[in-house]
Chain A
Amino acid sequence: MFDEKEIAAYRNISAPSDLRDKVLSSCMAETPKRNDLRKFTRVISSIAACLLLATVLTTYAFGSYGDLDVSVSDRVLNEESSLTFTTQDNGIAVAAHREIPVTTIPLTFDGHATLRVSGGVMNVIEDGEISYIGTEYATDGKTLVYWTVSGDETSQALEMTVIGRFKTETIILAYDETTAAWVVTREQAK
């Protein structure tokens, strides 16, 4: 192939003497900047990814894809809590029936859930009109539901089962004769 002289001559070729200084100085002068830029870009990318993840998780956990927000007549009904409701609280209701008034409880749900009532009937309002009447309804986003209970049904507590994405809760409606008010309780399903 090649004789020894040719190979030796070839191997005698060496890099120019000034190239060493050029390489060392250019690496000192330029490369760290690239390194810094690369690190900076990496950090920024990481932060952006974290923020995106946090946003998604927050939305998922607290937004319409996460826990359900429930309010009764514009008052927030927190988990594992109760509030009272009288017919005076209800602007749209209500006529008296026997000694216990027929009541419509305005419940607002914000989130995705399936609602199922053990008594009474749900009237779902959309754009000011009743869009659904029945005992089982799947909410999608913010939904106003009037839970109408007749006097006959209020001798015992009524339940609305709320089947959310992550958990199932129960909204219990009970009439307290001593205060003449409805007690609405939200608790984890048993």
Chain B
Amino acid sequence: MILSQDNRTRLAAVYDRYADMLFRLALSHTMSREDAEDAVQDVFTKYISTSPRFRDDEHERAWLVRVTVNRCHDLVKRGKIRMHDSLEDITDLPSEEDYSHGVLKAVGELPEKYRTAIVLHYLEGFSVEEISGMLGISLSAIKMRLSRGRELLKNSMTDEEENDV
């Protein structure tokens, strides 16, 4: 059995629409381009194999985000992430000159549950309500995670600045 032309077209459209965002999300969790690629590939494989039915685009996006986060979580949990001794050793991230490197480094140091909320809200621009729907977590829990994540980020940045001085 081969994917029908319709399914292929649909998959390509969904990929074009969400792949970059999902890749960044996966990258922020795995800190490895290869692992992020694997995670995204797994997500789309699951998308086709399970053929979930969506109410609307938001529902579809929420599903993709949730599956990506879960997949990354599984990879980390099972130790399948290509481990690096430290963030400094990561060579496949964007270059040091790139601002994104600092961003990824900062969020990469956050615990996973704060990281997801911070990335989706401050970097991807989703509202608290949208994130709540995507992750299936209450609004207050998302707000708490954002608050706690912000606090940790500030502390981390302050420590770094002090170390630089």
Residues on A lying within 8 angstroms of B by beta carbon are: 1-2, 5-16, 19-20, 22-24, 26-28, 30-36, 38
Contact = CB atoms under 8 A, between A and B. Distances in A.
A33 B33 CA distance: 28
A13 B122 CA distance: 15
Contact of B122 (A5, A7, A8, A36): A7
A32 B124 CA distance: 33
A34 B99 contact: no
The 4 closest A-B pairs by CB, nearest first: A9-B99, A15-B23, A9-B100, A32-B1
B99 A5 contact: yes
B136 interface: no
Given A9-B99, A13-B94, A32-B1, A23 B44 contact: yes
A7 B98 CA distance: 11
A36 B49 CA distance: 10
Contacts of B12: 20, 24
B48 interface: yes
B37 interface: yes
A13 B107 CA distance: 15
Given A6-B102, A19-B19, A28 B8 contact: yes
B3 A23 contact: no
A28 to B, nearest CB: 5
Given A2-B103, A19-B40, A23-B40, A28 B2 contact: yes
Contact of A13 (B11, B27, B40, B102): B27
Given A9-B103, A10-B99, A10-B103, A19 B23 contact: yes
Given A12-B100, A23-B41, A24-B11, A2 B20 contact: no
Nearest to A39: B1
Contacts of A19: 19, 23, 37, 40-41
A12 B99 CA distance: 10
Given A6-B103, A7-B122, A1 B40 contact: no
Most buried by B among A15, A32, A36: A15
Contact of B23 (A1, A13, A33, A38): A13
Interface string B93-136: 01000111011100000000000001000111000000000000
Contacts of B20: 13-15
Interface in B25-52: 27, 33, 37, 40-41, 44-45, 48-49
Nearest to A15: B23
A34 to B, nearest CB: 5
B104 to A, nearest CB: 7
Contacts of B104: 10
A14 B103 CA distance: 15
B63 interface: no
Nearest to B99: A9
Contacts of A36: 1
